[in-house]
Amino acid sequence: MKKAIIALSALFLAACSAPSDPQLDIKPVASSNAHQIVENIKLTLDSSDLRTAQYVAVIDNGRQNVQPIHAKQNLRVTLEDALSTQLKNQGFIVTVDSDNTLRLDIIEALVSVQHSLMSNEIKTQVKLQITAETPRGKFVKTYNGVSEKSGSMSADNQDIEQVLNDLLNAVLDKIAVDEELQTYIKGNF
């Protein structure tokens, strides 16, 4: 009986120390093209994650084995932080009590990976929506990003992280240099 308890205890401890599911390190950064467009205009930044599933990657190895992978960080918070830095570089003061609001909605952020031992194909889609709202009106625009990459050998987590981070950065760059959004903000904030 003692041997059975010891064996079960060892098995339980081994299960507790087993590695957890892999997660991706997603770290988008503010656009380097974010130049000053206003001077000390206050706005409130808000964000929401409208994705139906919270994973950021799906890996299909071709053997009817599909594995979802989540981000280490909260994607909404990470993107909001990058956009906040970007807005500050553009001359805004991000505060909690402004009549001017800018909302970031994450509609899609997903990497689809199909790979085998000898090849991989990575397809990435990002869709973010920006809503600029003042007491005088509202401006809504969707920013899309799509990328495809293929290579030899199987894809690893670093490849997937790089592809998603690069695409998120490209979409943030589109937001930073969007003349329609800048015109609306300059005229209404």
| Percent of all residues in the chain with a pLDDT value above 70, rounded to a whole number | 89
Q: What is the pTM of this model?
A: 0.84
Residue found by looking up tokens 């929506």 in the block: 129
Burial environment of residue 185 by CB neighbours within 10 A (0 to 12, 13 to 18, 19 or more): buried
Backbone φ, ψ for residue 185 (5° rounding): -65, -45
pLDDT of residue 154: 75
Q: What is the mean pLDDT of residues 161-188?
A: 94
Query: Can you list the domains of the chain with their CATH numbers?
Result: 2-188 (3.40.50.10610)
| Tokens of residue 130, six digits | 């920006």
